[in-house]
Structure 1
Amino acid sequence: MTFIQLTINCAPEYQEIFLAELAEIGFDTFEEKEEELEAYIASELFQETAVREVVQRYKELTQAKYSYQEIEKENWNEEWEKNYHPIEVEGKCRVRATFHEAKPEFKYEIVIIPKMSFGTGHHATTYNMLSLEMENDFQGKSVLDVGTGTGVLAIMAHKLGATHIEATDVDDWCIENSTENFGLNDMVDVPTHQGVIDEIKLNQGQYNVVLANINKNVLLVEIPSYAKLLPAGGELYLSGFYESDIHDITEKAKEHNLSLDKSVIKDNWAALKLTKY
């Protein structure tokens, strides 16, 4: 399996804009550097025309240039691991790789093999979701993590006391990586489903919590499905969109009996906790 590594050279203040635009056309892993953004996508999903259109859209605002190369899965992951650093969330949670030393002073420590799956914790959306999770009660709850990526959010739910956890993702590499990471965090027999939410046979009304850190367009399509999976009083955690998108997300949620409880913002990215009534 091969991947495309896309590099966009642009002013730092435009990196988040390009990140959001590229996420809309299928890129799912990113690394922000001083004057460039690196983005990754499976080779079969790459469309240079779509990338060119994104860059052209901002040509009047910034002198952005792009280049790309095809790389093997193994080489990609090796490069990513060399540059992976632990992250800390609210002084309580630490997400680290297997090759980092443990720090028992953290209440929660999540250990992962940092393959290039989305959700290593470095992006603000994952940080926001972990922060929201730690503020709430998961004890004894049934949780579904949609678009699990590395499995970090599901692992956090487990550490917070959830007793039944399932996960989904459309990418086979994410399924493989999340399963590995579940094992590293003492989670066994976690049902992990591959496919979009409407293609997977899940029990409606059987999850106390649904977690979904994806992107705005996917969330707007899938919120009705998430609502069906929750009973009255069930909780929905969403991220993968900007603060400016909160209105659109909450309006769609209202149509399906979901009310906003709390929002958190980091670097203009938002995460929401909603409850079904």
Structure 2
Amino acid sequence: MSFIEVYISTEDSSISDILMAELGEIDFDTFEEVESGLKAYIAAESFDQKALDEIISRYKGSFDFTVEINSVEKENWNKKWEENYDPIEVDDRCIVKASFHNIEKKYPIEIIITPKMSFGTGHHATTWQMLKLQLDINFLNKKVLDVGCGTGVLAIMANKLGAKSIEATDIDEWCIENSKENYALNGINDVKIQKGEIAGLQFEDNFDIIIANINKNVLLKEIPYYSNLLVEKGFLLLSGFYEKDISDIKKCADKYNLILDKIVTKDNWAAVVFSKS
């Protein structure tokens, strides 16, 4: 399996954030923020050159950046990631690290991740924010659903916080394989994981907590399903959108008995907690 790498070279971090959001809308699902800009990845069979060109043309006259497109094999990605991956600390309460990291400091929660080509290492602001929100919610004996699981890091956090049961979904087989591998690395072997969009999946029961770190358009489409699957007084954690998009997310959630409880922001990205009334 091969991937397309789009390397956006720029000294302006604001355009990196903007293009990251835009590329997420056309199915780029892995991002690497580097000193010289941004690298975005997508499975080769999902790559749409025309859609990319349309995005680039909208911003080319307003920002100074260059674009380079490369083909990357998944084996090369793993080696490259291992050479550049640094541990991520969340509020001194959690560390997300790779198996090859030797960290002397002890944290209340330690998560081991090998992300391969999946999104969600803790480096991106949205994943970091979701982990932070999870730390402040009571997961003990709760039934949890992780929508768009990516690396599985959010489900792993739920498990370490005491969740009774966890289910997960993703539309990408590679993400599902990666999540299973990371569950095993963290001693978790009972996560039920399904492939597909949530509208086409079946669940035996409702959930106390639903987690979805995807993108704005997908969230707006799927919020009705999240609400239907959430128990009364249950929590919905969402991220994958900008601060400026919070009002749109809230307006949609209002229609489905979801009350906005908390907002966190980082690097212009937002994450929110809703409760079901």
TM-score higher than 0.5 here? Answer: yes
- Identify the TM-score tier after normalising by the shorter chain: over 0.9
Of 95-104 and 34-43, deviating more is 95-104
Indicate conservation of the 8 Å contact 1:149/1:174, yes or no.
yes
User: Cα deviation per residue 1:130-189 (whole Å; 9 max; x = unaligned)?
Assistant: 000001100000000000011111111111110100111111111011101111111112
1:111 is aligned to 2:112: yes
Match of 1:49 in 2: 50
RMSD value, Cα: 1.1
Match of 1:208 in 2: 208
Match of 1:170 in 2: 171
1:242 is aligned to 2:242: yes
Indicate conservation of the 8 Å contact 1:169/1:194, yes or no.
yes
Q: How far is 1:116 from its partner?
A: 2.4
Match of 1:136 in 2: 137
Of 114-123 and 87-96, deviating more is 114-123
Indicate conservation of the 8 Å contact 2:74/2:116, yes or no.
no
- What is the SS of the residue equivalent to 1:201? coil
Q: How far is 1:104 from its partner?
A: 5.3
- What is the SS of the residue equivalent to 1:192? strand
Match of 1:87 in 2: 88
Indicate conservation of the 8 Å contact 2:166/2:191, yes or no.
yes
User: Cα deviation per residue 1:67-100 (whole Å; 9 max; x = unaligned)?
Assistant: 2111211112221221111100011100000111
Instruction: State the 4+ residue runs in structure 1 displaced beyond 4 angstroms.
Output: none
How many residue pairs match? The answer is 276
* TM-score normalised to structure 2 length: 0.97
- Given residue 236 of structure 2, which amino acid in structure 1 is its aligned partner? L
Matches within 5 A, 1:124-203: 124-203=125-204
- What is the SS of the residue equivalent to 1:208? strand
In the alignment, the residues of structure 2 paired with residue 259 and residue 15 of structure 1 have an alpha-carbon distance, to the nearest angstrom, of 32
Indicate conservation of the 8 Å contact 1:12/1:35, yes or no.
no
Match of 1:274 in 2: 274
* TM-score normalised to structure 1 length: 0.97
Q: How far is 1:12 from its partner?
A: 2.3
Match of 1:218 in 2: 218
Aligned-pair identity (%): 54
In the alignment, the residues of structure 2 paired with residue 103 and residue 186 of structure 1 have an alpha-carbon distance, to the nearest angstrom, of 21
Indicate conservation of the 8 Å contact 1:55/1:64, yes or no.
no
CA 1:193 to 1:104, structure 2 compared with 1: closer, same or farther past 3 Å? farther
Q: How far is 1:11 from its partner?
A: 3.1
- Given residue 217 of structure 2, which amino acid in structure 1 is its aligned partner? N
Indicate conservation of the 8 Å contact 1:203/1:229, yes or no.
no
Of 69-78 and 148-157, deviating more is 69-78
- Given residue 191 of structure 2, which amino acid in structure 1 is its aligned partner? V
- What is the SS of the residue equivalent to 1:8? strand
- Given residue 122 of structure 1, which amino acid in structure 2 is its aligned partner? H
